[in-house]
């Protein structure tokens, strides 16, 4: 059956390359001829704030730029506190892809509030949704800096999960990132493929 469209929330904190991620993904869907609306709600991202991108593609014109809570098919998150913020937005059969990376919030750092006592990774796993957890520590590589390129790793994992052409996706990466970063980004992409192939069977 043809895919008529999906609603995706991409979440994380400033500096994780969320805008690049949604930009790369939008180029892939444009090539496939989908209609798109992408809303990048930046907030004070550069200064340690949360970043969320609402990404919608469809065979029909996309209406609302924001995805209603309960309508999210995929949550792709690069920071696990941020993952928790959007779990309630997922559809019953929605799927979570989350990094275990965590940037302690400034409110917890300065003891304005207490951190959650539970393990955030466990909270995500127990959400009742299908989850795919990626631990950047376990996947460190000498070839690229995973702390900066989790977005590209995630892009590969998502592409593998959806059965998309890695060749085309890598071509988009090549055309979109500055030349001096291409090699590192492609290494990150390949790492994403291998993580996905080894572990996606869980979903």
Partner 1 sequence: MKMMNGNEAVARGAFEAGVKVASGFPGTPSTEVMDYTQQRYPEIYCEWSTNEKVGLEVAIGASFAGYRSLAVMKTVGLHVAADALGGAAGSQINGGLVLVVGDDVGRIAGDDYNDVRHYGNMFNIPVLEPSDSQEAKDLMIRAFEISEEYSTPVILKITSVICKTTSAVAIDDNITYKVNCRQKYKVSFSKVIMTTMMMNAKGSEHPKLTKCFNDFPAHMRQLAADSNDFDINKLELNGKKIGVITAGTPYFYTKEVLPDASILKLGMVMPLPEKLIRQLAEHVEKLYVIEDGHDIMEKNIKDLGVKVIGKELFPKFPDMMRFTPDIIEEKLVPDAPKRTLMEGIPFRLPVSCAGCSHLFISQILRNHKIKAAADVTCGLIGCFPHMESYSLQKCMGSSIALAHGYNVATDHKEKFVGMIGDGGFWATGINGLMNLIFNDSQSTTIIVDNSCLAMTGGQHVASSEFGFNYKPENKLEIAKVCEAIGVKDIVTVDAYEFENLEKAILNAVKSETNSVVIVQKPCVTKFKLPKGDAYSIDQELCTQCRKCINIGCLAIESKKGTDGKVEIVINEDLCVGCGLCSTACKFDAINS
Note the residues at the interface with partner 1 (CB under 8 A).
13, 26, 30, 35-44, 46-50, 62-66, 68-70, 81, 84-85, 87-89, 102-116, 123, 147-148
Least distance to partner 1, CB of residue 122, Å: 13
> Between residues 89 and 173, which has the closer beta carbon with respect to partner 1?
89
> Between residues 31 and 197, which has the closer beta carbon with respect to partner 1?
31
**Tokens 């690069």 correspond to what residue?**
78
> Between residues 80 and 185, which has the closer beta carbon with respect to partner 1?
80
Least distance to partner 1, CB of residue 120, Å: 9
DSSP 42-73: -TTGGGT-EEEEEEEEESS----SSPPTT-EE
Least distance to partner 1, CB of residue 15, Å: 8
**% helix / strand / coil in the chain, to the nearest 5?**
45, 25, 35
> Between residues 114 and 180, which has the closer beta carbon with respect to partner 1?
114
What six digits make up the tokens of 159? Answer: 């592409």
Helix ranges (DSSP H) in 79-144? 80-86, 106-109, 120-125
**Tokens 């994403």 correspond to what residue?**
192
């Amino acid at each position: 059956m043809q895919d008529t469209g999906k609603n995706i929330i991409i979440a994380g904190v400033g500096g994780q390359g969320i805008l690049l991620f949604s930009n790369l993904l939008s180029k892939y869907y444009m090539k496939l001829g989908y209609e798109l609306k992408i809303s990048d709600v930046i907030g004070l991202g550069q200064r340690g704030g949360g970043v969320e991108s609402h990404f919608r593609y469809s065979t029909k014109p996309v209406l609302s730029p924001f995805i209603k809570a309960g309508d999210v098919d995929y949550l792709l998150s690069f920071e696990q506190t941020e993952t928790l913020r959007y779990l309630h937005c997922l559809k019953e059969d929605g799927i979570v892809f989350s990094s275990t990376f965590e940037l302690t919030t400034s409110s917890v750092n300065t003891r304005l509030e207490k951190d959650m006592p539970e393990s955030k990774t466990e909270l995500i796993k127990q959400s009742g949704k299908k989850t795919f957890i990626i631990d950047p520590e376990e996947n460190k590589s000498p070839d690229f800096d995973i702390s900066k390129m989790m977005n590209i790793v995630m892009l590969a994992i998502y592409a593998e999960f959806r059965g998309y052409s890695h060749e085309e996706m890598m071509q988009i990466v090549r055309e979109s990132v500055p030349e001096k970063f291409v090699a590192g980004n492609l290494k990150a992409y390949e790492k994403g493929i291998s993580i996905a192939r080894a572990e996606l069977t869980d979903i």
